[in-house]
Amino acid sequence: MRQSPKHFPMSVPDLERLIDCVAVSSALDGLLVYGASGSQLESLADRLARGLLQAGAEAVDRVWLGAAESEDLLWGVADLPQGWNGRGLLVPPPNTTRIVIVPDLARLSLAAARAGVTMLGASHVRIERRGRSSVVPVHHRWIASLPDATGSSVSRHLVDRFPVRIRMPVRPIVSRLDILREALTHPEQRALPGPSQGVRERGGARIVTDEAIEQTMSCMASNVSGNVRESLALLEVAKALALLDAKPSVDANTVREAARLLDLGKQSDRDEAAADSAGASATPSSLGASADFTRPDPMLVTPVDECGASNTEPNVRLATAGDALLGTDSQIDGADAPAGASPQAETLPPHEYASLRMPWRLAQVASSGRGTIIGTRRAETTRDLAIVDTLFAAAPMQSLRRAALEQPPTDIILRRSDLRSYRRVPLATELFVLVIDYTSVVDREWLDSLIPFLRHAYAARAKVCVIKVGAKDATNPLRAERVLARNVLVPGIAALLDAPAGSATPLADGLSLALQAIQQSFGHGRVAARRATLVVVTDGRGNVTLKASREGCLTERVGRQGIEDARSVARDLRALTHTKRVLINPGPTLLRDLPLALAAALDAEIVRVTDHHG
């Protein structure tokens, strides 16, 4: 769903209310906070932990997930003797609710991201790993942060799994002395109250009235995607608010209040809800001292259908108890705040294709992500142990060892010589991407310029991705096509270098496919490529727009848009690190500026075939 940017006056009390909603409603199991720092997330988790306990959780613990968590670490290895196996970061002890903190969703390991998609919104999760088969109930709350600048690199699929998505309130201007005093305060003294003790006793489902559903429909009227998940999230927040406020049912006003918290629906409704909640001191979770805490937003855009004045001046006040929730990160200030689009409704820009999939290179790779298992061998270290083979090696000696050590008959005794580790196929760490614009090629001389790069790719055992632009055999001439190969020796690669040209030149689409291929190969865990070489063979004359390539048909005149789109994608490619970029201009061209401009956009080394031969 796409909505115009709106002002989002999230205040600390509002944030606390939302966290309390997450605490009392198991349906709201994910909270995504745009722009929150690690310490701020920890403060949020503190508040949430108290809320969970007051809402009836027997115990609450927390784990942090980052870029390195593997499947085994997440799900544990069951059935091994005590001390060998962790339960897994996502498998809490019985009767314990686990808060899963993700400081940067964009850097979350692939395994953890896939776990998030599996767990968020589910009541149970099935674990089928390493001999273990179990169905465990999900007692989690995920709190994640997503730096605004990295939003585009996160799977929208994963983001959509978080039912509550908000922006972190901007910290007010406070004196350094106050920050220092606050930092020296004992954490227990800083502790913020959670929802009131009465929540546990009030428990039970709230009745959702017809008016509440009508109001939800009204708030989500601009949602034309048909995705009902956001509507349900709004209703769940409303139910949680009713529970917190000891209301017997969810009425339209409660939905309006929920919509205001989530920055959904019409401005007039949100204003009305804000007025209703002005006496928020009556609510069990509010902190009166932290009212009037609007975010200064110099980029404020007021939609034409909105009414009411907006305050673009920063509010200046001293820190209050509520600021503990905001942490003490001095780098957060109003100037850093992005335009206030509703995070709940936000549609992220086009992102890395297929980001939750195992990278394509894993077609030959086992799930552990370190190369195909081709056997086992005696272990020299404790890394990548082959557990079953280790147990098999140890099993025959058990009765002797138990007798010698007088151990109980159920214990298994391992010695260093028993340990086995996997033998795996080595993985390539380099990617060679070749974009060939066949319509720019007039003879075979450009191949001489390519040979050094092919030699390097061969020596580096690089994976190969060839992108065909304007080939005669293209299924749709408006689209580029991508061919993947294990290395440059795959026979099909030679044929690709010599394919006949078609009529259209979807150069922007070809560069876009190159961008996706490199992002994919870099993005995921220990098997990711470390370096990439991108060679683009073109004269820069794209004559198909990116839009036409994506839709597969031409609906409007192209003009220069094909060239501009190609340059735009080239600039995205320039932003990639660890990537060498080369542009080969394959022949005499009447428009000498085009390849130069494209090379500049790419920040690429340029090789002119005519220079080589002339």
Partner 1 sequence: MKNMNVLPWSSIVGQTQLKNALMMSYIEPRISGVLVSGERGAGKSTIVRAFARMVSGTLPVTLPINATEDRVVGGWDVGELLKSVPRWKPGLLEEANGRMLYVDEVNLLDDHIVNIILDVTASGLLRVERESQTRESRVRFTLVGTMNPEEGTLRPQLLDRFGLMVDVRGLGDTGQRRAVLDTVMRSAAGIDDGALAKDEAMRVELEDAKERAAAMSVPEPVLEGCVALAQRFQADGHRGDVTLALASRALAALQNSNRVTRDHLCSVAALVLQHRRKMPGQRELLPWSTEDDASVAETLSDVRA
In the complex, least distance from residue 214 CB atom to partner 1, rounded to whole angstroms: 8
Is residue 80 close enough to count as binding partner 1 by CB under 8 A? yes
Task: Name the residue nearer to partner 1 (CB basis): 26 or 267.
Answer: 26
Task: Name the residue nearer to partner 1 (CB basis): 474 or 584.
Answer: 474
Which residues inside 185-214 make contact with partner 1, applying CB under 8 A? 205, 207-208, 213-214
Alpha-helical runs (H) found in 226-308: 229-244, 252-262, 267-276
What tokens were used for 500? 């006949």
For partner 1, which residue of 67, 173, 179, 232 counts as binding (CB under 8 A)?
Answer: 232
What CA–CA distances, in Å, run from 440 to 123, 584, 589? Answer: 56, 10, 9
Residue type, 230: E
Is residue 226 close enough to count as binding partner 1 by CB under 8 A? yes
Is residue 391 close enough to count as binding partner 1 by CB under 8 A? yes
Read out DSSP for 190-234? HPPP-S-THHHHH-SPPEEPHHHHHHHHHHTTT--S---HHHHHH
Site map (CB under 8 A) of partner 1, residues 524-563, x = contact: ----------------------------x-----------
DSSP H helix total and E strand total for the chain: 21, 17
Task: Name the residue nearer to partner 1 (CB basis): 337 or 546.
Answer: 546
Can you list the positions of beta strands (E) in 438-475? 463-469
In the complex, least distance from residue 121 CB atom to partner 1, rounded to whole angstroms: 6
Is residue 421 close enough to count as binding partner 1 by CB under 8 A? no
In the complex, least distance from residue 64 CB atom to partner 1, rounded to whole angstroms: 20
Is residue 387 close enough to count as binding partner 1 by CB under 8 A? yes
Is residue 257 close enough to count as binding partner 1 by CB under 8 A? no
State whether residue 19 is helix, strand or coil. Answer: helix
Is residue 362 close enough to count as binding partner 1 by CB under 8 A? yes
What tokens were used for 143? 């709190």
Task: Name the residue nearer to partner 1 (CB basis): 28 or 101.
Answer: 28
Which residues inside 90-119 make contact with partner 1, applying CB under 8 A? 111, 114-115, 117-118
For partner 1, which residue of 230, 263, 269, 430 counts as binding (CB under 8 A)?
Answer: 230
Site map (CB under 8 A) of partner 1, residues 440-479, x = contact: ----------------------------------xxx--x
Report yes or no: 320 and 179 within 8 Å, Cβ to Cβ: no
Site map (CB under 8 A) of partner 1, residues 260-289, x = contact: ------------------------------
Task: Name the residue nearer to partner 1 (CB basis): 225 or 330.
Answer: 225
Number of residues located near partner 1, criterion CB under 8 A = 81
Residue type, 272: E
Is residue 407 close enough to count as binding partner 1 by CB under 8 A? no
Residue type, 360: W
In the complex, least distance from residue 135 CB atom to partner 1, rounded to whole angstroms: 9
| Range in contact with partner 1 (rule: CB under 8 A) among 8-16, 351-359, 418-426, 569-577 | 351-359
For partner 1, which residue of 483, 490, 554, 606 counts as binding (CB under 8 A)?
Answer: 483
The set of residues, in sequence order, having a beta carbon less than 8 Å from that of 373 and lying 6+ positions away, is 366, 422, 423, 424
Cα 483 off chain centre by: 27
Task: Name the residue nearer to partner 1 (CB basis): 388 or 489.
Answer: 388
Q: Which of 208, 285, 211, 210 is nearest to 247 (CA)?
A: 208
What CA–CA distances, in Å, run from 563 to 511, 595, 597? Answer: 12, 10, 10
Is residue 398 close enough to count as binding partner 1 by CB under 8 A? yes
**Distance from C-alpha of 482 to C-alpha of 514, rounded to nearest angstrom:** 8
Can you list the positions of beta strands (E) in 451-578? 463-469, 481-485, 531-537
Task: Name the residue nearer to partner 1 (CB basis): 219 or 379.
Answer: 219
Task: Name the residue nearer to partner 1 (CB basis): 229 or 560.
Answer: 229
Is residue 174 close enough to count as binding partner 1 by CB under 8 A? no
Burial (Cβ within 10 Å: 0-12, 13-18, ≥19) of residue 32: buried
For partner 1, which residue of 335, 363, 403, 425 counts as binding (CB under 8 A)?
Answer: 363
Beta bridge partners of 534: 433, 581
Over the range 46-60, which residues count as b (16 or more CB within 10 Å of their CB) and which as e?
Answer: bbbbbbbbbbebeeb
Is residue 41 close enough to count as binding partner 1 by CB under 8 A? no
